[in-house]
Amino acid sequence: MSGRERREQLVQIGCSVFAQKGYDATSVEEIAARAQVSKPIVYEHFGGKEGLYAVIVDRETSTLLGALETALEDHRAHPRSLMERAALAFLTYIDEREDGFRILVRDSPATHQGGSYSTLLGDVAAKVESILTAQLRLRRYTAADAALYAQMLVGMVAFTGQWWLETRMPSKEEVAARMVNLSWFGLGALEKAPQLRGR
């Protein structure tokens, strides 16, 4: 195996073990044993468990953010279409990279300085906010509400995705359609100055 192939093998094995056991319960010994290499090989490539974990988190974060950015990049598309694409991209990432998603949603070790799941969701919310700002202005709503609504929408998708990871029912297409149904028709009937009515 070339050095590059070995590194990729260790990343794949590490991703599987971290997803199954979490960061604290994973050891370099187990990763090395599964890869059928000695511990020094893991240290040579990553400097230890934390280095391997950082590489995996960075890769998964980039993959998910890239999928979501691609889904949201067509500024000429109807906002509902963008919401559908983003919801489906998120669920497709979960479906195709289950181990990576499990790692992202777990708490990272205190020593890990890279991006976290909450940071990733913040980046996505910022992109959604820019789309909502334009749509709110078109409908003569205050654009100042865009940041709040973006957080709500991204939170709904993220939490639903975590639930769907465990259930896998209904299909990702149906889950995406229902999320968009709730958010789109909720946004479509927004009151300009909502008030709690039970007070």
How confident is the model at residue 108, as a pLDDT? 56
Run means of pLDDT, 10 residues per run, the chain, 199 residues: 92 96 94 95 94 93 88 82 89 94 74 62 82 78 84 87 92 93 79 78
Look up the domain containing 98 and give its range.
58-189
How confident is the model at residue 139, as a pLDDT? 74
- Report the number of distinct structural domains present in the chain: 1
How confident is the model at residue 132, as a pLDDT? 80
How confident is the model at residue 174, as a pLDDT? 93
How confident is the model at residue 129, as a pLDDT? 85
Q: What is the CATH number of the domain that holds 81?
A: 1.10.357.10
Asked if the structure places residue 194 within a domain, the reply is no
Handedness of CA 177, 182, 184, 185 (dihedral sign): positive
Asked if the structure places residue 181 within a domain, the reply is yes
How confident is the model at residue 111, as a pLDDT? 46
Q: How far apart are CA 194 and CA 60, in angstroms?
A: 38
Asked if the structure places residue 131 within a domain, the reply is yes
How confident is the model at residue 199, as a pLDDT? 64
How confident is the model at residue 136, as a pLDDT? 78
Asked if the structure places residue 141 within a domain, the reply is yes
Its pTM surpasses 0.85: no
Query: What type of residue sits at position 23?
Result: Y
